Copies of this chain bind each other. A is one copy, B any other.
Amino acid sequence: MSKPRIVRAPRGAELSCKGWVQEAALRMLMNNLDPEVAEDPDRLVVYGGSGRAARSWESFDRIVSTLRELEEDETLLVQSGKPVAVFRTHADAPRVLIANSNLVGKWANWEHFRELERQGLMMYGQMTAGSWIYIGTQGILQGTYETFAEAARQKFGGDLKGRLVLTAGLGGMGGAQPLAATMNGAACLVAEVDARRAQRRVETRYVDRVSEDLEEALRWVLEAKEAGEALSVGVVANAVDVYEGLLERGVVPDVVTDQTSAHDPLNGYVPAGMSLAKAETLREEDPERYVAASKASMARHVAAMVAFMDAGSVVFDYGNNIRQEALGEGVKRAFDFPGFVPAFIRPLFCEGSGPFRWVALSGDEEDIFKTDEALKALFPEKTSLHRWLDLARERVAFQGLPARICWLGYGERAKAGLMFNEMVARGELKAPIVIGRDHLDSGSVASPNRETEGMKDGSDAVADWPILNALVNAVNGASWVSFHHGGGVGMGYSLHAGQVIVADGTEAAARRLERVLTSDPGMGVVRHADAGYERAREVARERGVRIPGVTE
C-alpha cells in the first residue's frame, strides 16, 4: 500500500470520515498531492523546493486511516509529516495539530535538518505544503496583484488605469507581473532577455503582446496608457537597455520595479550587452568574469531605477536583492527606494490584512463562483477586490479542488467566514467550505529577511508572535493548526504558524469561525501596534482590538 500513487481528493457531499472537519483535513491533504497541484507528487513534494505534505507514503497512509476513524472529540498530532498520537480533546478543539521542521536554534540549519531527514526523522513543511492548504499558482498572481493594488491605493487613488508600469523578468514569479498589472488597469512594459520565456507567457495569456523592438513595444504601451487601456507588452531585451532607453527618451513610468533573477549573479541574471547564447557559454568558461559583468550590469540597472525615482516614478525592490548587489558595486543611493514589504505589504499587515483563501470541498467550480459573487455583495466598497474576483474567474484555471484567494483584513475575514457558513447552512453551496491562509500573514510569521525585515522597533527576529498566533487559533477552535520552521527563506531564518477552519454550516462552526477569524488577523494588528506602527494602533482603536496600554 505505502507506495507512490496518484492521489486526488474525494468530491461531493458524502462523508468518508466521522465529521466534516476530519473530512476536510483528509481532502486537503489529498488535494495537496493532486498531480494538478503538487510539483512532484510521487515524492510527496507540493511546492517550494522540497515542501512536503507527509513524511513518507507510509505516514500518508496512516494519517488517512487515522482521520477516517477520528472521533468528533479526538485530535490527531502530526510531527514533521508523521502521525504520532491521538488524544481525546473535545468538540471545539482542532481535529489536527501539526508541527513541522522545528529545530532547536543552535541546530537550526540545513545540514542538521538534512541529516535528520535522511534518517527519516524529519520533513520540510514549507508553509502550506505541510499544513495542507496549498492551492497552486493562484497565490503568486494574487500576491503580485495585491502589491500593485496597494501601490495604486497609496499613490494613484485606487487603480492603475492610465498608468505605465515598467518592470523586468518573466520567470516563475516574475511572470505574474504583467497580468497582475493589467488586472489593476495598467499599461505594462516588461523586459525579458529570453525570447522563449516571453513567448510562453503570451501563450498562457499572462502577457498580451511581445515585441523584439523597444520602439514598437513602447508605442503600444504608451498608446494604451493614453487611452486608459489595460495592456501588457513584453519586450525581448535586457532590462538595463530598456530602463536606460526610456530614461534617454524622457519616458517616466508611474511605477518601476524589477523581478529579474538578480539574487543569483551567476546562474540567474544576464548582464547588459550580452546575448543569451554568449551568457550561457561564459557562465561555463569564466564564471568569475560572468559574475563581475552581472554585478556591473546590476549597478547600471539600479542607477536607472534611482533616476526614475528622481524623475517622479514610484520605485520599489521586488525581493530579488538587486539593491544589495548594486550597493556593493558602489551605487551609494541603491537603498534610496524601498523594498516591497515595508512599502506595500506592511501597511496591509497593520490592518490585519493578508492572504485569505478558501476551497470548495464539493469540487464544484460553481460553489467558488457563488462565493465570489457573495463576497462582492458583502464588500461593495472594495473595488480592487471586485476587479480581482472578476478577473480571477476569467483568467485563473483551477488546480485540484476549486479555490479562491484574496486579501482581507481584521473584521472582514470573520464577516466573510460567517457568510460562507450561512451559505453552506442554507444549502446554497453543495458542500462545506474550507478557509485557510498562507503562513505569510500579518501576525503569524517571524522572518527577518522577508516578512519582518526592518520592523520599526527592530523586533524582526522576535518569534513569540507566531507562537501566540498558533496557540490562540488552536484554543479558539481552528480545524487544524500548524507551526513550522524555515518556510520561504530556509532553515534558521523563519518561524511561522498556519490555521485552517471549516465552514460546515453548523452553529458550532459559526462560533468557531467568528472567534478564529477574529483572533488570527487580530494578532497581526497587535504585533504591528506593539512594534510602533501608528496605523495598526488606529485600526485597533477603530475596530476594537484590545491591547493593554494602547486601547485600554
Interface residues of A (CB under 8 A from B): 58, 62-63, 65-66, 75-77, 79-80, 82-90, 92-94, 97, 99-109, 112, 116, 119, 121-122, 446-448, 457-465, 467-468, 470-472, 474-477, 481, 483, 485, 491-495, 515, 518-519, 522-523, 526, 530, 545-549, 552
Contacts and interface: CB of A to CB of B under 8 A. Distances in A.
10 contacts: A79-B462, A87-B518, A88-B515, A90-B476, A104-B446, A104-B448, A105-B109, A105-B495, A121-B457, A121-B459
A548 B89 contact: no
A493 B87 contact: no
Q: Which of A119, A476, A493, A548 has the most CB of B within 10 A?
A: A548
A257 B288 CA distance: 59
Given A97-B471, A107-B448, A472-B77, A116 B530 contact: no
A492 B99 contact: no
A474 B471 contact: yes
Given A106-B493, A112-B461, A463-B102, A476 B83 contact: no
| Most chain B beta-carbon contacts within 10 A, residue among A58, A446, A468 | A468
Contacts of A62: 548-549
Contacts of A103: 105, 461-463
B121 A462 contact: yes
B97 A530 contact: no
Given A85-B522, A548-B62, A470 B471 contact: yes
A472 B79 CA distance: 13
A481 B475 CA distance: 11
Contact of A84 (B75, B84, B547): B547
Contacts of A82: 530
A472 B523 CA distance: 20
A476 B100 contact: no
B472 A475 contact: no
A98 to B, nearest CB: 8
A178 to B, nearest CB: 34
A108 B462 CA distance: 9
A511 to B, nearest CB: 8
A285 to B, nearest CB: 36
Nearest to A106: B492
Nearest to A481: B471
B99 A468 contact: yes
B549 A75 contact: no
Contacts of A79: 462, 464-465, 468, 530
Contacts of A66: 548, 552
A270 B75 CA distance: 54
A122 B462 contact: yes
Nearest to A547: B85
A526 B448 contact: no
Q: Looking at A106, A108, A494, A515, which has the most chain B CB atoms within 10 Å of its CB?
A: A106
A461 B97 CA distance: 20
* A104, A463, A470, A483 — most chain B CB neighbours (10 Å): A104
Contact of A485 (B93, B105, B122): B105
Contact of A475 (B475, B491, B515): B475
A90 to B, nearest CB: 7
A86 B546 contact: yes
Contacts of A75: 472, 475
Contacts of A465: 79, 99
Contact of A104 (B85, B93, B109, B447): B447
